[in-house]
């Protein structure tokens, strides 16, 4: 049988301090890794976001007008919302790190992981980085718009399917009275 070791007094305090320092070191390593990845990939993310914007405007929006192509438009808008959100998150991380360092990023991560975008907006505002602030606001608006469009398309598809099911009763199609 395994015997539990109980720490008391100074040994418990030292063990707790060691665990806390190890967790802080892991957090610092994770933050520096996220910053490094974001610095190297943000340009690609912005290029994907630019392409996703034009795909939404020129392809997915027209596809959403037709019943048969709504599913493709729905998937396109969901993917675009993910691309916009990822790009905006990277920009928020970099803005926060530039202005407030690792502690600011840690605070943003503690604020439910999406806290970096609002914190990045505040950092850009206080640092006078107006283009960064505009990019963050535009990213949030684009992600919200693409997600809202995907939710609307999904609701339209469900409504159409429910209408189709209510018209079919035991194999007979009942005429619709509009």
**pTM for the complete prediction?**
0.79
Average confidence (pLDDT) per 10 residues, the chain, 178 residues: 64 78 82 85 95 97 93 96 95 92 84 82 94 96 97 93 70 53
CA distances from 74 to 46, 67, 92, 150, 154 (A): 22, 11, 27, 5, 7
**Model confidence over 75-113: pLDDT tens digits?**
999 999 999 999 999 999 999 999 988 888 888 888 776
Total residues belonging to the chain? 178
């Amino acid at each position: 049988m395994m015997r539990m070791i109980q720490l008391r007094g100074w040994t418990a305090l030292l063990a707790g301090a060691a665990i806390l320092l190890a967790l802080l070191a892991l957090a610092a390593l994770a933050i520096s890794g996220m910053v490094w990845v974001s610095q190297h990939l943000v340009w690609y993310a912005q290029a994907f976001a630019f392409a996703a914007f034009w795909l939404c405007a020129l392809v997915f929006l027209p596809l959403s007008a037709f019943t048969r192509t709504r599913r493709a438009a729905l998937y396109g808008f969901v993917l675009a919302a993910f691309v916009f959100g990822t790009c905006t998150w990277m920009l928020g991380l970099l803005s926060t790190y530039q202005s407030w360092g690792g502690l600011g990023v840690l605070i943003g991560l503690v604020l439910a992981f999406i806290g970096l975008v609002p914190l990045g907006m505040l950092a850009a505002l206080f640092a006078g980085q107006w283009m960064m602030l505009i990019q963050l606001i535009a990213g949030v608006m684009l992600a919200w718009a693409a997600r809202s469009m995907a939710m609307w398309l999904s609701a339209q598809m469900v409504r159409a399917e429910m209408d189709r099911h209510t018209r079919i009763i035991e194999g007979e199609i009942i005429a619709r009275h509009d």
